[in-house]
A and B are shown apart, each in its own frame.
Chain A
Amino acid sequence: MKSRLFLLRLAMKNLFRHTRRTFITGISIAVGLAMFILIDSLLVGIEEDSTRNLVLYETSSTSIMKEDYWAEKENMPLKHSIEKPEAVIEALQPTGYSAAPRISFSGELIMRQDPYPEDGSMQTRVIAIDPSLDTEVYLLDESISRGRFLEQDEMGVVIGEWLAEDIGADIGSPLTIITRTKSGYFQTIDVEIVGLVNTPNPIVNRTGVYIPLETADYLLEMNGAVTQIDLSFPYTTDLKESTANIQSALSKLPPSTMDELAVVDWKELGKDFVALAAAKSGGTKVILFLVFLIAAVGISNTMLMSVYERIREIGMFRAMGMSDGEIRLAFLMEAGGIGLIGATAGVLLGVLVNIPMVENGIDYSFLMRDFDMGYRITGIARGLWNYGTIVSAFVTGIVLSIVIAFIPTSKALKMQVTDALRFQ
């Protein structure tokens, strides 16, 4: 025990033998770990924000729709609609989840010269919403950047601000939507743009087209039917638990109605994003690995130099009767010391830089406007405090230093004592 304390003292003294080198290595570890903490904070923050924006503006927490509609979701077939949404909403009341009926259908937007710069059309997804109920589930009404939100039973439309910019539309511009009714007949809907939304979700800004539910109900001959009932609950809620709650509530419905309903959570609805997030987490790991590699090279370089210039000293230690284990321990404690200094500085630096990242974030709206990166954030990427990462970065910094120092120390200990004593 006493000799261990002596080894620890020796290691600590050696640590400050070359203050500049210890400082440089410490800095390289610190910068590596700070970058690790920062990148992780940003990526987790972006994912968290994306998830929130996906749920609050695009998918809702969970959607109830006809199984056949879900199976053919790409075509959005109105014939597979929920005929009595009120009954479903009523059945869901015990769950305490807010519910909003919607009709999602495909249509062709037609733009004609004056007021539009040129004639054109585009295939789009139109969503009919109940202006009063929808606000219980989505935050579209709070994201009106110009004009106003929809009112019941009007021939108005709210579209994404970016979409308006892209097609050259403005408040008051007429818009024609060509679609098919529930029965399959062509229908032309002439509406006027009453508002533009600018949400934190770029998909909504780029493609969103919203009309009032009552207007759609009449024009699409839905007779009160809707394609989906979207529900809201905190997105952190366990999805298995919420799905079970919903299914238990729906079981009160007549079997024929209940059997045909699919309960689809946001992870399923936003599958593209979930898959993308998973894929990006692979990329994230590569970035983090590279950051660690930089720190590792710094540490290994220092430890190599530190061990090789002290091979004669190691020879002397062994001549004095120090065991290989004790010598290794002394060197590893020294490496651990460098790791500790670097990791402490790294965590401090990472936390300091992360404060403005969490508070203010980085504005890269210029990038998000033109490129679809798959994330559901439009402008400011904010960091998130990830305490697990901070702790693991700290521990890894120390462990990595020790592991890397192990190799040159073991090499030096393999030499004959006499060779080590003669080493130049």
Chain B
Amino acid sequence: MIEVTGVKKTYRSGETLVHALRGVSIKIENGEFMSIAGPSGSGKTTLLNLIGCLDTADHGSILIDGTDISTKDKQELALLRRRSIGFIFQSFNLIPVLTAFENAAFPLSLLGLEEKEIQRRTMEILKEVGLGDMAHRKPAELSGGQQQRVAIARALVKDPQIVLADEPTANLDSRTGQEILELMEGLNRNHGTTFVFSTHDKMVMDFARRLVLLHDGLIQKDESQEPSLGASTTLATGVSTERQGG
């Protein structure tokens, strides 16, 4: 479980201070399929970065399975990300010189698993994302949707506790975007992995079983919802919304 309590984050953009998060509290249970939505500059990416231990909060706390991540040093946070957090980026961020297989296997190589185990798990996940026969292709030889599938495989291959996806469909056409969302939802159900993705796209936010709406760094809405496309079960969880000024 991830518990975000009273988190504030301010950063400087040129001469001005940007209050990206003004006091956000949220609990994410294991196995959720959750969307953090909001317009540009609402603080979605900042919140994802903080949950993903890529950035540190100025105020408040973030607990992952009861451990306050603010007490961990750079090295420990890197290790936590390596073992427990998967990332899916808007622009895929695949390594161009590696094949789809090598890209997907990358997190397992970092974990130092046996070559056989890496082979088995990577092929398994690549088949699951529908790329079993394209394992040897390099990113440049794949379409945008296929590249994002490789990125999803890469995020999931290590069986992380949580997968964070920052606008995962923003660079894709709507049909491919929907396919990706369906894939993510299916993987969430099959693996029980928590998925948290940010978006400003109505279609995407409707896809989640829980929608957290951010506006100007504050949670405006946090509710369970019936997914509009292809989703089934609703996993509503205890949610607290804290609205603070500043």
Decide: A17 and B83 in contact? CB cutoff 8 A: no
Decide: A320 and B107 in contact? CB cutoff 8 A: yes
**Is A13 part of the contact surface with B, judged by Cβ < 8 Å?**
yes
**Is A319 part of the contact surface with B, judged by Cβ < 8 Å?**
yes
Which chain A residues border B45 with CB–CB below 8 Å?
Answer: 418
**Is B106 part of the contact surface with A, judged by Cβ < 8 Å?**
yes
Question: Interface size of A by Cβ–Cβ distance < 8 Å?
Answer: 25
Contacting residue for B82 out of A17, A322, A324, CB 8 A: A322
The smallest C-beta distance from B52 to any residue of chain A, in angstroms, reads 7
Decide: B95 and A10 in contact? CB cutoff 8 A: yes
Which chain A residues border B82 with CB–CB below 8 Å?
Answer: 320-322
**Is A1 part of the contact surface with B, judged by Cβ < 8 Å?**
yes
Decide: B81 and A320 in contact? CB cutoff 8 A: yes
The smallest C-beta distance from A316 to any residue of chain B, in angstroms, reads 4
Can you report 7 residue pairs joining A to B where beta carbons are below 8 Å apart? A10-B95, A14-B97, A316-B87, A318-B54, A321-B80, A416-B55, A421-B93
Q: Measured between alpha carbons, how far is A324 from B77 in the docked complex, in Å? A: 12
Decide: B96 and A17 in contact? CB cutoff 8 A: yes
Question: Interface size of B by Cβ–Cβ distance < 8 Å?
Answer: 30
Which chain B residues border A1 with CB–CB below 8 Å?
Answer: 112
With contact pairs A17-B96, A418-B54 given, residues A3 and B109 touching in the complex (Cβ less than 8 Å): yes
Contacting residue for A323 out of B49, B52, B75, CB 8 A: B75
Chain A positions 292 through 335: 1 when the CB is less than 8 Å from some CB of chain B, otherwise 0: 00000000000000000000110110111111101000000000
**Is A2 part of the contact surface with B, judged by Cβ < 8 Å?**
yes
Decide: B112 and A17 in contact? CB cutoff 8 A: no
Chain B positions 55 through 87: 1 when the CB is less than 8 Å from some CB of chain A, otherwise 0: 100000000000000000011001111110101
Decide: A319 and B54 in contact? CB cutoff 8 A: yes
Q: Measured between alpha carbons, how far is A10 from B110 in the docked complex, in Å? A: 12
Closest Cβ neighbor of A416 among chain B residues? B55
Which chain A residues border B197 with CB–CB below 8 Å?
Answer: none
**Is A6 part of the contact surface with B, judged by Cβ < 8 Å?**
yes
Q: In the complex, given contacts A312-B93, A316-B95, A323-B78, what are 17 additional A-B residue pairs having Cβ atoms less than 8 angstroms apart?
A: A6-B106, A6-B109, A10-B95, A13-B98, A313-B93, A313-B95, A318-B54, A318-B78, A319-B87, A320-B110, A321-B79, A321-B80, A321-B83, A321-B85, A323-B79, A417-B49, A421-B89
Which chain B residues border A316 with CB–CB below 8 Å?
Answer: 87, 89, 93, 95
Q: Which of B54, B55, B80, B83 has the most CB of A within 10 A?
A: B54
Decide: A319 and B81 in contact? CB cutoff 8 A: yes
Which chain A residues border B74 with CB–CB below 8 Å?
Answer: 324
Decide: B109 and A17 in contact? CB cutoff 8 A: no
Contacting residue for B52 out of A2, A13, A319, CB 8 A: A319
Contacting residue for A10 out of B83, B87, B98, B113, CB 8 A: B98
Decide: B78 and A3 in contact? CB cutoff 8 A: no
Q: Measuring CB to CB, which residues of chain A are less than 8 angstroms from any residue of chain B? A: 1-3, 6, 10, 13-14, 16-17, 312-313, 315-316, 318-324, 326, 416-418, 421
Which chain B residues border A417 with CB–CB below 8 Å?
Answer: 49, 54-55
Q: Measured between alpha carbons, how far is A323 from B162 in the docked complex, in Å? A: 20
The smallest C-beta distance from B151 to any residue of chain A, in angstroms, reads 10
Closest Cβ neighbor of B77 among chain A residues? A321
Q: Measuring CB to CB, which residues of chain B are less than 8 angstroms from any residue of chain A? A: 45, 49, 52, 54-55, 74-75, 78-83, 85, 87, 89, 91, 93, 95-98, 106-107, 109-113, 115
Which chain A residues border B115 with CB–CB below 8 Å?
Answer: 2
Which chain B residues border A320 with CB–CB below 8 Å?
Answer: 81-82, 87, 106-107, 110
Closest 6 CB pairs of A and B: A321-B82, A321-B81, A6-B109, A316-B93, A13-B97, A2-B112
Q: Measured between alpha carbons, how far is A416 from B93 in the docked complex, in Å? A: 17
Q: Measured between alpha carbons, how far is A14 from B97 in the docked complex, in Å? A: 6
The smallest C-beta distance from B228 to any residue of chain A, in angstroms, reads 30
Q: Measured between alpha carbons, how far is A418 from B81 in the docked complex, in Å? A: 14
Closest Cβ neighbor of A319 among chain B residues? B87
Q: Measured between alpha carbons, how far is A85 from B150 in the docked complex, in Å? A: 94
Q: Which of A13, A319, A326 has the most CB of B within 10 A?
A: A319
With contact pairs A319-B87, A320-B107, A418-B55 given, residues A17 and B97 touching in the complex (Cβ less than 8 Å): yes
Q: Measured between alpha carbons, how far is A319 from B83 in the docked complex, in Å? A: 11
Q: Measured between alpha carbons, how far is A421 from B54 in the docked complex, in Å? A: 10
Which chain A residues border B87 with CB–CB below 8 Å?
Answer: 316, 319-320
Decide: B110 and A321 in contact? CB cutoff 8 A: yes
Decide: A322 and B97 in contact? CB cutoff 8 A: no
Which chain B residues border A3 with CB–CB below 8 Å?
Answer: 109-112
Which chain A residues border B97 with CB–CB below 8 Å?
Answer: 10, 13-14, 16-17
Which chain A residues border B95 with CB–CB below 8 Å?
Answer: 10, 313, 316
With contact pairs A319-B81, A418-B55 given, residues A6 and B110 touching in the complex (Cβ less than 8 Å): yes
The smallest C-beta distance from B94 to any residue of chain A, in angstroms, reads 9
Q: Which of A312, A313, A320, A324 has the most CB of B within 10 A?
A: A320
With contact pairs A319-B54, A418-B54 given, residues A2 and B81 touching in the complex (Cβ less than 8 Å): no
Q: Measured between alpha carbons, how far is A333 from B113 in the docked complex, in Å? A: 22
Which chain B residues border A10 with CB–CB below 8 Å?
Answer: 95, 97-98
Which chain B residues border A321 with CB–CB below 8 Å?
Answer: 78-83, 85, 107, 110
